[in-house]
Structures are given as structure tokens and as C-alpha cells.
Structure 1
Amino acid sequence: MKKLGLLMMIVIFGATLSLAQNRDGQRNFDPEEMAKRQTKELTELLSLDKAQAQKVHELNLESGKKMSKMREEMQGGGDREAMREKMTEMRKKQNAEMKKILSEDQYTKYEKYLEERRARRGGSGGGQR
């Protein structure tokens, strides 16, 4: 009987710990941190110069803030399909702006990077993370 009680306590503790970690992960949508991380990754991948990196950071930050606002609206019971459409449109605009910042060669690499990310995520999503 003691073994069963101990086992139940371990299972409950593990489940609680797991849920706490998931909540922390959900809160990690800080637009500034995401923009820094994305810009750093793209700077290395695409060999961006300082001016390009600054413009990419500004674009990532602006997009991140808009995405964060949409997520907050969704938590309030918003329409998922409408949000998906808005995010898709926002990603299209972001990619159009990115095309203005990058050279043709860099943009080709950027598109390949996005395709690889979509494949890793199972084909869902688009644009920036």
C-alpha cells in the first residue's frame, strides 16, 4: 500500500512539474527577445551587414508585437480562423518587406530557410517564428 501511495505522489509531482514547464514556455513570446533571436539567426545565415541586420530587427520586432497582440486577443476567445488568416497576411507582408531589405541571393536563402522551418514544424505556419 505504501508503494502505491509513493507511486501516486511521484506521478502527480511529475504531472505538475510538466504543466508548469509548459506554462513557462507559453509565456516566452516576448517580442523583443524573439526579434533578437531571429535577427541573430538570420544575420549568421544570410551574412547580413549592419544596416540590413538593423532593418531586419526592426521588421521582426514590429511583426512580433503584432503577433503577440493577436495571441492575446485569441486568449480572450477570438475566432481562430480569422486570426490564422490575419497572421498569414501579416507573414506575406513581412516577407515582401524582407525582400526589399535582402539581396536576391540572400532572399533565395531566406525562402529556403522558411521552407525548412515549415517542414520541421510539420508544414504548419509560415514566415518568422
Structure 2
Amino acid sequence: MKKLIGLFLILFLSSTVLIAQENRTAKRGADMKAMQERMISELKLDEKQAAEYQKISDEFRSKMQSEREKMGGDRQAMFEKMKTLRAERDEKLKAVLSEEQFKQLQEKEKQMQGNRGPRGGR
């Protein structure tokens, strides 16, 4: 009987952790979509620009996630790959956005990075 109770307790705790992770992932996706919408609004993109911006952003995010999984714990290699991916994304965005819109985007991204603060302890 004790083994059965222990098994149920382990299953319950495992399911709680999995549900929490799923909620965090869903929230992160919703946050990214909200950020995209805010950026589209702030940059005053037309419908065509907005569609291209979303496509490029989604593609970039997908590539970043894939690279994170491939790289594992190699932070230096990850940093270099992310720099390359950002440069590719920026080139694509330059073709879609006006020069002024692209400058605004860069300024807003710098502000967002500054708002995150230091990321120690990970």
C-alpha cells in the first residue's frame, strides 16, 4: 500500500511540473505575439510590411530555438550563432522596412535589452 501511495505521489508531482512548463511555454508564445503586434503598431507598418515582419520574426525565432537545442551548453558558440542569425534577420528586415522604421526597430530592441537587466545566476 505504501508503494502505491508513493507511486501516486510521484506521478502527481511529475504532472504538476509538466503542466507548469507547458503554461510557461504558452505564456512565452503569447508574449512574443503581443510584442510583435506592439512593434507593428509602433513602427506604423502597413499590411504588407506587417505580414513580412511577422514571417521574418517567426522564422528567426524558430531558427534560434533550433540552434539553442543543437548547441546545448556552449555559450560562446551560441553567442556567435545568434549574432549571425540576427545579422541575417536584419538584412531581410532592411528590405521590408523603410530606413526610418528600421532605425526605430533597432532603438526599441536596444531599449528592451536594457530593460531586461543583467542575467546572472543561470
Q: How far 1:35 sits from its partner (Å)?
A: 5.9
DSSP-derived class of the 1:36 partner: helix
- Verify: 1:68 aligned to 2:65, yes or no: yes
| C-alpha distance in 2 between matches for 1:69 and 1:87 | 11
1:46 to 30, 43, 46: 43
% same residue: 28
The alignment covers a number of residue pairs equal to 103
Q: Deviations over 1:66-114 (max 9, x none)?
A: 011122224xx44221111101111122122212211122112111101
Report the TM-score when normalising by structure 1: 0.64
- Verify: 1:106 aligned to 2:101, yes or no: yes
Unaligned 5+ segments in structure 1 are 1-15, 125-129
Report the TM-score when normalising by structure 2: 0.68
Greater helix share, structure number: 2
Q: How far 1:61 sits from its partner (Å)?
A: 1.1
RMSD: 2.8
1:37 to 34, 39, 42: 34
Letter in 2 for 1:121: R
